[in-house]
Amino acid sequence: MSIAENLAAVEARISAACVRAGRKRSEVTLVAVSKTFPAERVTEAIAAGVTHIGENRVQEARDKKPLVHGSARWHLIGHLQSNKAKDAVRIFDVIETVDSVELAQKVAACDVLLQVNIGDEPQKSGIAPADVESVVKQIHSIGGIRLVGLMAIPPIGDSRPYFRRLRQLRDQVGLQHLSMGMSEDFEAAIEEGSTMVRIGRAIFGPRG
């Protein structure tokens, strides 16, 4: 299937999940994750209607973005090292993986989401759920910062309890967005309140 056909199928699933949850389709942003796919595939996705592109690596996006035709907002959804923060601010519109106050200070020019290690997994980045409230307060004190939401990658398996927990945390700190849900679980994420779903394989196909 073409990217346009895949996108139409994903859109139908997003719309159906919104109906089940009693939500409007406009409440959910689709971020098409293009990591490892070439610029021409990203151009194809934008031509098919994608308006948000997600990339995992600063260097890959830096090389790819100038070759992409069409307009989209670019999201960094992979771990950001402090020494690449300056490049990230230049390349991306949204940085979803801020995991410290220090990093937030370096990317204050972008919209940022705070990454939460919602499953307390040692191999994953993100702050502990117990620290969300205090870190959000500290980030809000940074001049010019636009902290717009929380992001998480739940443990493999049943994601719903983690999605619910992230929503509770988001509500506690009064932020707008919840970035949660990928190709295998985005419908459940939408039903649990996600406002941004990060979908790669279901749009671009399997990676080589």
pTM of the model: 0.96
75 CB-side CA count, 13 A = 23
**pLDDT value of position 94:** 98
Helices assigned H by DSSP within the chain: 3-21, 39-47, 58-64, 85-91, 101-106, 132-140, 160-173, 186-191, 201-204
Residues across the chain: 208
Match 């994750």 to its residue by tokens: 33
pLDDT at 207: 79
Which tens digits make up the pLDDT trace of 69-99?
Answer: 999 999 999 999 999 999 999 999 999 999 9
The reported pLDDT for the residue numbered 1 is: 86
For each of the domains in the chain, give its residue range(s) and CATH number, in order of start. Answer: 3-204 (3.20.20.10)
Task: Taking the CA atoms of 129, 133, 138 and 143 in sequence, report the sign of the dihedral they define.
Answer: positive
Yes or no: say if 52 and 72 are a contact pair by the CB < 8 Å rule.
yes
Question: What averages of pLDDT result for each successive group of 10 residues across the chain (208 residues)?
Answer: 96 98 98 96 98 98 98 98 96 98 95 97 94 97 93 95 98 98 97 98 89
The pLDDT score that the predictor gives to residue 54 is 98
